Amino acid sequence: MNQKTLFIFPKRGLYTLTKCTNCGHGFQCEHCDANLVTYRKWEKNLELVCHQCQTYYNYPLKCPKCASTEISSYFGGVDELVEIVVKESGNPVYRYDDKKRSKEMAITTNAVTTRIFDPSIPYSNFTHIVFVEAQNLLASPDYLVQEEIHKQLLELMLSISEQTEIIFDTNSPDLELFIGLARLDKNHPEHLDKKQWFINFLTTEAKSREMFNFPPFVNTLLLTTQQKNKDKSFEIINHVRSELIKIKQQLPDLTISSPYQARFLKRKGMFSYHVLVRFPRQYKDIGKLREEIMQLGSIYGVQIRLNPRHLF
Ligand SMILES: [Zn+2]
Ligand SMILES: [Zn+2]
């Protein structure tokens, strides 16, 4: 049978880090402080892109700090992977992440995608499916994102043929996810089938959500500041938290977290901090709580989200 490999690599661009080799200056977005990702515009022409706010920059010719011209980019993304696979195999690579670029190309030997599961991909046509740097599947701390990733892995595993082999390329095989996935092997002493594997995950996940007071066992309200000044943003979230502690005196069933940084602390020039409030399901004082929270929101200009998908 013709060997065909699909590489799954959810990391866009050519390189994810750009630095001055002389002084170590790192190139980051002016609005977000996020590391800029290198893309190839055409031929040798490169550009830097911020994935958080979509700002584009010319690839630097010299360092703004020390004026050295020794600029290097590291940590490859999917574009670099494609260049490597083309070189090693001598064949073109079909890009499910960029079908425009592959329009004229019949699906040849190998393909890449940046999505974990994509219903338009004929998975059973591949002999091998390789998750490149599979530890990145666990990069998000959000529990709902983790649930979605497990769901997509299950869909993928249900879409392949018996002959397809899935390979998880990772530097951390000891992570719980990979220990669980290893049990899908028919020779494993604690073998699980694909659906049992997913049910197993959901059961463990439900227990830990109950223990740590997360939905669906409680409701959550995420209050978020958005300020141009970092200190002011932190000051406001602390005020909001003190007000919440006062509200708790009338509504003792509330749980209030300490203030914490948003995952993207700076985004589009705005700094964000969160406070997480938990309250019981079918809460008897929901009317009073809503009134108090809405008032807090308008006084302090904080964003309020009920049971949001992302808590960080
Ligand atoms: Zn420099
Ligand atoms: Zn940005």
Which residue type occupies 163? Q
Q: What is the CATH number of domain 218-306?
A: 3.30.70.600
Ligand nearest to the CA of 34: 2
| CA 137-140-143 angle, 5° bins | 100
Residue 283 reports pLDDT greater than 60: yes
CA 49 to ligand 2 centroid distance, Å: 8
CA 299 to ligand 2 centroid distance, Å: 28
For residues 238 and 225, give the distance between their C-alpha atoms in angstroms, rounded to a whole number: 10
Contacts of 282 (CB under 8 A, 6+ apart): none
Contact 300, 292 (CB under 8 A): no
Q: What mean pLDDT is predicted for residues 2-25?
A: 93
Helices 230-250 and 286-300 pack at an angle, to 10 degrees, of 160
For residues 29 and 51, give the distance between their C-alpha atoms in angstroms, rounded to a whole number: 9
List pLDDT tens digits, range 175-232. 999 999 999 988 999 999 999 999 999 999 999 999 988 889 999 999 999 999 999 9
Phi, psi at residue 234, to the nearest 5°? -70, -40
Q: CB within 5 A of ion ligand 1: which residues?
A: 20, 22-23, 25, 63, 65-66, 68
List pLDDT tens digits, range 148-176. 999 999 999 999 988 899 999 999 999 99
Model confidence, pTM: 0.84
Task: Say how many C-beta atoms besides its own lie within 10 A of residue 61's C-beta.
Answer: 7
Domain spans, the chain: 9-115, 119-212, 218-306
